[in-house]
A and B are shown apart, each in its own frame.
Chain A
């Protein structure tokens, strides 16, 4: 069983569209994250979320919004996609405290 799963794995879409990426974890973790990895391979945190608090990286445009229907899911919605949004998006989860995070396989988003 995959611990952290993301769908879709690949997403190609036109500028201006709205899209969502889904993430599910079956590890029972309290905290989930979204990271963006750009063409320079830098992994940048976008959001962290548990059932009590959402922390947003202030550099993330408000076109990006996380949605969490329950503790095991953290989906990423992106409105009005731009060319610069093209990147690999990784979902991750951890139990909290000082534990390590587990990552999904990533979603390669290409905006054309």
Chain B
């Protein structure tokens, strides 16, 4: 059974820092991996999706990498801002079904960026 782990559960950094959020998964047979952002009391917003054949994806100050062989993904946030404060979740889709129906989510990392 796929397990997705995000450590630490919470992170506090000063504004301006470049930071890396980690996601690890136990089964490397994945179809894709998504990173989501969740603001308190709100739904999730998809930030980046990396297909299994890709190594990374970029959107603005965000860069996500994928290393299937080691079962790891990282979300890099450049020049962090207070507005980046949120919970960041990763989720993997398994290769056998490939459908979003079987996404396995991590529990998320709650990021606080101090002004």
Whether chain B is bound by chain A comes out as no
